[in-house]
Amino acid sequence: MQHTAQQMYDLVADVQHYPEFLPLCESLRIIRRQDMPEGGQVLIAEMGVGYKAIRERFTTRVTLDPAGHRIVAEYIDGPFRHLENRWVFKDAEPGTCDVDFFITYEFKSRTLGLLMGSMFDRAFRKFTDAFESRAARIYGTA
């Protein structure tokens, strides 16, 4: 990626701006923010997602680790049986970084999984592109 690990970490950690650019994300509300003694923060966030007539909300615990350039989102409540999302950013060549992105999820409802599953898969595959485009707009291109 043509931006530093710190730049990309800052961009992904700025969760309240996700509705501006992230596929399917219609709203994001931070319910609680707690500073960690060793640095970083834990956020409790509610995200509203939608596609056509289907709208869902879910709550996650987002752990922000700025020293490790790591972000982990863990499912708390909503339409999923489980959801976990991890980002790790590592500096590479000067001015660039490598991004390790992982997501796993399963809907509670088989019907919702059939209706939204393939759309979520496509949207999640586009997450990296959405963040790269956002980085280019905010930080410029190399």
Q: pLDDT tens-digit profile of 108-130?
A: 888 777 766 667 767 777 777 89
pLDDT at position 18 over 60: yes
Per-residue pLDDT reduced to its tens digit, 34-83: 999 989 999 999 999 887 787 889 999 999 999 999 999 999 999 899 99
pTM: 0.88
Q: Give the CATH superfamily of 5-139.
A: START domain (3.30.530.20)
Q: Where are the domains of the chain?
A: 5-139
Give the Å distances, CA to CA, from 43 to 37, 106, 125, 136.
14, 22, 24, 26
CA distance 66 to 32: 18
